[in-house]
Amino acid sequence: MTDLLYRSIPDMFLKRVAETPDKNAFAHPAPGDAGPPVWLTWREVAARAKAIAAGLYDLGVRTEDRVAILAGTRLEWVLADLGVMCAGAATTTVYPTTEPEDAEYIVRDSGSKVLIAENAAQAAKVAGLKLAAVVVIDGPAGEGQLTLDALEKRGAAVLGEKPDLIEEITETIKPEHLATLIYTSGTTGRPKGVELLHGGWVWQGQRQSELGVMSADDLQYLWLPLSHSFGKTLLCGIIFVGLPTYIDGRVDKIIDNLGSVKPTLMCAAPRVFEKVYNRVVTQAKEGGGAKYKIFTWAIGVGKRHAAERHAGRTPGGMLALQNSIAHRLVFSKLHDRLGGRIRALVSGSAPLAKEIGEFFHAAGLNVLEGYGLTETSAGSFINREDAVRLGTVGQAIGDLECTIAEDGEILLRGLPVMRGYHNLPDETAAAFTEDRWFRTGDIGELDKDGFLRITDRKKDLIKTSGGKYVAPSHIEGMFKSICPYTSQAVVIGQARNFCTMLITLDPDAITQWAAGGPLEGKSYEEIAAAPETEEMLSGYIKELNGKLNRWETIKKFRVLGRDLTIENGELTPSLKVKRRVVEDTFAADIDKMYAGSVAEV
């Protein structure tokens, strides 16, 4: 395995601070968005993180004790996380959208001694637990609570007496010590706490630097949930390379902020790329006539140009000229919408439809799809800028080992793989083979060059009553790339004699489609129920079926009266569909599609 350059995240962090103390580290929005982003240098970040660490130490937090963070993506989340680890403790991450029952379960099961909450409302979710301390980031502290500012002042006083305290603690933290406890959102049952170690996270930061995915010359826009392993692994890369990063978890502000922040790098879940794709394609279609012909011509040119680049050749001659014209007439608008300086976009946490990846590459925007799980510290495979194979999640990162089991399951082994599930020895044992290969639960194929293609989740494969296996995510991704008005698509068919689909609409795209027609001004629910909408979608379903095997084709579909949401429990915080929840919630709609059919008993 790789020789790690650092023993732990605090070791890596303090070395980063020492190397580039006065360079920009993290930025956050100005108060009330009144002004440009506010930047902190690495020296300033270290001062606050150390104060938080010393404050936690003063509260009795010690090596591998757990401290829970229950907050959205913001600068203070990063400072708190660094503070927790610099105190020698481990961060338990809790999504701010977590319901009180689950939040209480996570904090209790993890054995967290302290909670750092975004505000009083978040802290109230675990009011029934007895903790050593509760710290709130925003607003006044309640009875028996501390504000984050008060914790920092308490820590500063400790450091006044023991200025080398954090460095001394850091010397004791080893690669095998617990750094993070992330509870998988899961699709059924209680979430499981994944134990991730300092060595695995340092490995992630080191690998990202060597891959060239991140550079100190980049400017990253970070909005991803930091309670998720994708966000956490990015923090490790940021620290390792000294990457200036703007942090703002407000999803509704992304488009506006991109224009002002002008990042060169952004990572996102596929849903973000799908929404951009939907917006661009629907606008082009609504333009009609010559405008749409120019758009489709530009896409064709861009795809040929991208294919040459992916083959390692430099496009020249007429193709280069045509691509220049296509960029000026069509693609430059998309680049401008993303800030005008994007070097690379990284897609992860769920599958990205190949066709949508092709669209972005055609537009000259490198969407590098990757793959990993919480249990593998997120980053396992990724497409490189100089080695892209669309439809795959790229090649293995660093010296991570991968093999494919007889049943097609992807097995992984290496330093970033979890220690195990917290307090669940039987489930931990079941997650590994006898020779310590981690069972990912995903089905895939490795080509001769080591590029991995994900077929589906092992547990999500559908077996029809006719005995045929269907990979739903593949079909759903195809449909999203064909129909630009789709938000979510969920294929149904387990033990049924044919496949059906539940569809939700992209509110922005469908409103634009309805403009100028009989549905203009109607609500989402009214548009979803309209026969005109069903007729429009029927055409896209027919197009989809033309690309599928007979047993995979969608015989019926239902348009749901609302979109799937995290709040209703149908999506995970990383925007993956919880299939079982969706099937239970919309059971009546599903039953109507199969009324009169014969299902396997």
What average pLDDT score do residues 233-258 get? 94
- The predicted pLDDT at position 226 comes to 95
Q: Say which residues have a Cβ less than 8 Å from residue 44's Cβ, sequence separation at least 6.
A: 25
N-term to C-term CA, the chain: 50
- Please state the pTM of the whole predicted model: 0.86
- The predicted pLDDT at position 142 comes to 87
What gap in Å lies between CA 398 and CA 404, rounded to an integer? 18
- The predicted pLDDT at position 112 comes to 98
| 309 and 398 belong to one structural domain | yes
pLDDT band with cut points at 50, 70 and 90 for residue 361: very high
| 70 and 13 belong to one structural domain | yes
pLDDT at 46 exceeding the cut of 60? yes
Is 141:150 a contact under the CB 8 Å cutoff?
yes
Domain presence at residue 31: no
> Which of 175, 190, 206 shows the shortest CA–CA distance to 103?
190
Q: What is the sign, positive or negative, of the torsion defined by CA atoms of 290, 291, 294, 295?
A: negative
Of the residues 257, 283, 311, the one at which a domain ends: 257
Residue 51 sits in a domain whose CATH number is: 3.40.50.12780
What average pLDDT score do residues 314-329 get? 94
Q: Which of 104-108, 189-193, 300-304 has the lowest mean pLDDT?
A: 189-193
> Which of 370, 363, 303, 376 shows the shortest CA–CA distance to 333?
363
DSSP letter at 331? I
Q: Which of 93-102, 468-477, 541-550 has the lowest mean pLDDT?
A: 468-477
In the chain, the number of structural domains is 3
Domain presence at residue 77: yes
Q: What beta strand segments (E) does 451-597 contain? A: 452-457, 462-463, 469-470, 486-492, 499-505, 554-559
Beta bridge partners of 555: none
| 486 and 353 belong to one structural domain | no
| 451 and 308 belong to one structural domain | yes
Q: Which of 82-86, 216-220, 282-286, 354-358 has the lowest mean pLDDT?
A: 282-286
* Chain-centre distance for alpha carbon 171: 32
pLDDT at 406 exceeding the cut of 50? yes
Domain presence at residue 28: no
What gap in Å lies between CA 474 and CA 460, rounded to an integer? 11
The residue ranking higher by pLDDT, 494 or 151, is 151
pLDDT at 188 exceeding the cut of 50? no
pLDDT band with cut points at 50, 70 and 90 for residue 11: very high
- The predicted pLDDT at position 156 comes to 98
pLDDT at 505 exceeding the cut of 80? yes
Domain presence at residue 585: yes
**Among 162-166, 186-190, 334-338, 567-571, which range has the highest average pLDDT?**
162-166
pLDDT band with cut points at 50, 70 and 90 for residue 458: confident
What average pLDDT score do residues 448-466 get? 86
Is 135:114 a contact under the CB 8 Å cutoff?
yes
- The predicted pLDDT at position 251 comes to 87
pLDDT band with cut points at 50, 70 and 90 for residue 187: very low
Q: What is the sign, positive or negative, of the torsion defined by CA atoms of 514, 515, 520, 523?
A: positive
pLDDT band with cut points at 50, 70 and 90 for residue 456: confident
| 330 and 411 belong to one structural domain | yes
| 276 and 170 belong to one structural domain | no
- The predicted pLDDT at position 601 comes to 28
DSSP class per residue in 132-198: SEEEESSS---TTEEEHHHHHHHHHHHHHH-TTHHHHHHHH--TTSEEEEEE---SSSS--EEEEEH
Domain presence at residue 27: no
Domain presence at residue 29: no
What gap in Å lies between CA 366 and CA 370, rounded to an integer? 12
Domain presence at residue 503: yes
Beta bridge partners of 404: 410
Is 147:117 a contact under the CB 8 Å cutoff?
no
- The predicted pLDDT at position 283 comes to 87
Of the residues 458, 475, 498, the one at which a domain ends: 458
| 215 and 117 belong to one structural domain | yes
Measured at the alpha carbon of residue 175, what is the angle toward residues 174 and 176, in degrees to the nearest 5?
Answer: 90
DSSP letter at 329? I
pLDDT tens track for 202-213: 999 999 999 888
| 434 and 493 belong to one structural domain | no
| 74 and 93 belong to one structural domain | yes
Q: Say which residues have a Cβ less than 8 Å from residue 450's Cβ, sequence separation at least 6.
A: 395, 396
What gap in Å lies between CA 285 and CA 296, rounded to an integer? 10
pLDDT at 160 exceeding the cut of 60? yes
Q: Which helix (H) or strand (E) holds 544?
A: helix 531-545
pLDDT band with cut points at 50, 70 and 90 for residue 2: low
pLDDT at 578 exceeding the cut of 80? yes
What gap in Å lies between CA 112 and CA 120, rounded to an integer? 18
pLDDT tens track for 121-136: 999 999 999 999 999 9
Measured at the alpha carbon of residue 173, what is the angle toward residues 170 and 179, in degrees to the nearest 5?
Answer: 110
pLDDT band with cut points at 50, 70 and 90 for residue 597: low
Domain presence at residue 598: no
What gap in Å lies between CA 229 and CA 181, rounded to an integer? 10
Q: Say which residues have a Cβ less than 8 Å from residue 256's Cβ, sequence separation at least 6.
A: none
* Chain-centre distance for alpha carbon 49: 25
- Report strand pairing: 24-28 vs 245-247: parallel
Q: How is residue 123 written in tokens? A: 């802290």
Q: Mean pLDDT for the chain?
A: 93
pLDDT at 544 exceeding the cut of 80? yes
Beta strands across the sheet bearing 344-347: 38-41, 24-28, 245-247, 220-222, 265-268, 344-347, 367-371, 381-382, 395-396
pLDDT band with cut points at 50, 70 and 90 for residue 521: very high
Q: How is residue 596 written in tokens? A: 């009169």
pLDDT at 18 exceeding the cut of 80? yes
For 549, the domain range is 461-593
- The predicted pLDDT at position 449 comes to 95
pLDDT at 339 exceeding the cut of 80? yes
Q: Which of 326-335, 464-473, 530-539 has the lowest mean pLDDT?
A: 464-473
Is 81:91 a contact under the CB 8 Å cutoff?
yes
Of the residues 435, 458, 481, the one at which a domain ends: 458
| 273 and 365 belong to one structural domain | yes
pLDDT tens track for 81-111: 999 999 999 999 999 988 899 999 999 999 9
| 474 and 436 belong to one structural domain | no
Q: What is the sign, positive or negative, of the torsion defined by CA atoms of 561, 563, 564, 569?
A: negative
- The predicted pLDDT at position 599 comes to 42
| 586 and 474 belong to one structural domain | yes
Q: What percentage of the chain has pLDDT greater than the value 90?
A: 78
